[in-house]
Amino acid sequence: MQRKTSQRDAIQEVFIQENRPLGIEDILTYGRAIVATLNQATVYRTLKVLMENGWLTQINHPSLGTLYERTGKEHHHHFYCHVCKRVYELPGCPLAKGDIAPKGFIVEHHEVFLSGTCPSCC
């Protein structure tokens, strides 16, 4: 019981520390630095529980697949740095104002994924 709690704590700790969307491999790597015995099955089970609790949400990234991030953030977009392989959250949305579709189309939703080189890798 004690052990189960600490694995879940470790996963939450990883998200709080990194404060960016993470894939399963990242979660395993960073999580094992906290709890060495962390295994993939436990991580998947814990992610499911954290999503049911509304603590985490899932992103379907077009090139990276499934990523997980904390809920409760304002609408934002993601930037993937292909050098350090990190996904950053970009605050705000440049598409929020202005006409992005021709007249007659009512835009209710959009998904934009940016990629390139981040400031640390330039």
Nearer to Zn ion, 33 or 84 (CB): 84
User: How does DSSP assign 34-101, residue by residue?
Assistant: H-TT--HHHHHHHHHHHHHTTSEEEEEETTTEEEEEESSPPS-EEEEETTT--EEEEPS-TTSSS--S
Nearer to Zn ion, 49 or 100 (CB): 100
Q: Helix axis angle, 2-18 relative to 40-52, nearest 10°?
A: 70
Q: Which of residues 41-100 bind Zn ion (CB under 5 A)?
A: 81, 83-84, 93, 95
| Span of 12-20, 36-44, 52-60, 111-119 interacting with Zn ion by CB under 5 A | 111-119
The least CB distance from residue 25 to Zn ion, in Å, is 17
Nearer to Zn ion, 68 or 80 (CB): 80
121 binds Zn ion (CB under 5 A): yes
Cα–Cα distance for residue pair 97/118, rounded to 1 Å: 25
The least CB distance from residue 116 to Zn ion, in Å, is 9
The least CB distance from residue 54 to Zn ion, in Å, is 21
Nearer to Zn ion, 33 or 95 (CB): 95
Cα–Cα distance for residue pair 85/65, rounded to 1 Å: 13
Number of other CB atoms surrounding residue 7 within 10 Å: 19
What residues line the site for Zn ion (CB under 5 A)?
A: 81, 83-84, 93, 95, 118, 121
